[in-house]
Chain A
Amino acid sequence: MSESRAAKGTHEVHEAHAHPGFVRTYIFSTDHKMIGRQFLFMGLFMLIIGGLMAMLIRWELAFPEKPLPIIGASKEFIDTGEPKTSMDQTWAEWLSKPESEQNWLTKNMPMGAITAPLYNSLFTMHATLMIFFVVMPIMVGGFGNFLIPLTIGARDMAFPTLNMLSFWVGLLSGIIMLASLFVPGGPAAAGWTSYAPLTAKVEYTGVNWGQNLWCISLIVMGISSLMGSINYITTIINMRAPGMTFFRMPLITWSLFITAILLLLALPVLTSALAMLLFDRMLGTHFFLPEGGGEPILWQHLFWFFGHPEVYILVLPAMGVTSEVLSVFSRKPIFGYRGMVFAMTAIAFLSWVVWGHHMFVSGMNPLIGATFMMTTMVIAVPSAIKTFNWLGTLWGGSIRFTTPMLFGLAFVSNFVIGGLSGIFMASTPVDIFIHDTYYIVAHFHYVVAGIIFAIFAAITYWFPKMFGRMMNETLGKIHAILTFIFFNATFFPMHILGVGGHMRRIFNPMQYEFLHPLQPINVFISISAFCLGAVQLIFLFNFIWSLFAGKRADRNPWHANTLEWTTPSPPPHGNFDKIPTVYRGPYEYSSPEVAEDWLPQDRRLETTTAKGAH
Chain B
Amino acid sequence: MRMLNWLPEDVSTYGKEVDSLFYLIYYITGIVFLLVTVAMIVFLIKYRYQEGRRAIYTHGSTTLEIIWTAIPAIILILLAFKSQAAWSHIKMNIPPGEVQIRVLAKQFNWDITYPGPDGKFGTEDDLPRPGDPAILDEIHVPVNKVVRVELVGKDVIHSFFLPHLRLKQDVLPGRTILAWFQATKPGRYPLPCAELCGIGHSGMLGSLIVHTPEEYAAWVKEKWPSTEKAQ
A residues within 8 Å of B by Cβ?
A: 116-117, 119-120, 189-191, 195, 197-198, 204-206, 290-291, 296-297, 330-337, 339, 361-363, 366-367, 369-370, 373-374, 377-378, 380-381, 384-385, 387-389, 391-392, 394-401, 409, 412-413, 416-417, 420-421, 423-424, 426-430, 432-433, 435-437, 495-496, 499-501, 503-508, 511-514, 518, 587, 589-592, 597, 614
Contacts and interface: CB of A to CB of B under 8 A. Distances in A.
Nearest to B44: A399
Contacts of A336: 59-62, 65
A220 to B, nearest CB: 25
A417 B21 CA distance: 18
Nearest to A420: B29
Contact of A296 (B36, B44, B175): B175
Nearest to A588: B57
Given A366-B92, A399-B48, A384 B196 contact: no
Contacts of A513: 190
Contact of B65 (A385, A399, A591): A385
B79 A423 contact: yes
Contacts of A590: 54-57
A363 B172 contact: yes
A508 B22 CA distance: 27
Contacts of B167: 432
A398 B87 contact: no
A591 B55 CA distance: 9
B49 A399 contact: yes
Contacts of A429: 17-18, 21, 83, 86-87, 90
B27 to A, nearest CB: 12
B226 interface: no
Contacts of B168: 361, 432-433, 435-436
B37 A330 contact: no
A339 B77 contact: no
Contacts of A119: 202
A246 B7 CA distance: 49
B43 A397 contact: yes
A191 B196 contact: yes
B165 to A, nearest CB: 10
B125 interface: no
A198 B198 contact: yes
Interface in B68-123: 68-69, 72-73, 76-77, 79-80, 83-84, 86-88, 90-92, 107
Contacts of B39: 391
A361 B43 contact: no
B202 A507 contact: yes
Interface of B: 3-4, 6-8, 17-18, 21-22, 25-26, 28-29, 32-33, 36-37, 39-40, 43-44, 47-50, 53-62, 64-65, 68-69, 72-73, 76-77, 79-80, 83-84, 86-88, 90-92, 107, 153, 155-157, 159, 161, 163, 166-175, 177, 190, 192, 194-203, 205
7 smallest A-B Cβ distances: which pairs?
A: A290-B174, A396-B56, A507-B202, A501-B163, A336-B60, A377-B76, A429-B86
A369 B87 CA distance: 9
A275 B141 CA distance: 45
Given A363-B169, A370-B88, 7 more contacts: A191-B196, A296-B157, A378-B76, A380-B72, A495-B3, A518-B6, A587-B59
B203 A508 contact: yes
A401 B44 CA distance: 9
B170 A370 contact: no
Given A198-B197, A511-B205, A396 B173 contact: no
Nearest to A590: B55
Contacts of A191: 196
B56 to A, nearest CB: 3
18 contacts: A120-B196, A189-B199, A195-B156, A204-B155, A204-B198, A296-B175, A332-B57, A366-B87, A385-B65, A398-B55, A401-B49, A426-B80, A428-B87, A432-B168, A433-B166, A505-B196, A514-B8, A518-B6
B29 A421 contact: yes
A361 B194 CA distance: 11
A174 B43 CA distance: 43
Given A378-B73, A381-B73, A436-B194, A503 B44 contact: no
Contacts of A387: 36
A374 B156 contact: no
B44 A512 contact: no
Contacts of B88: 366, 370
Contact of B72 (A369, A384, A396): A384
A439 B49 CA distance: 38
Contacts of B57: 332-333, 589-592
Contacts of B163: 433, 501, 514
Contacts of A591: 57
B6 A500 contact: yes
B69 A385 contact: yes
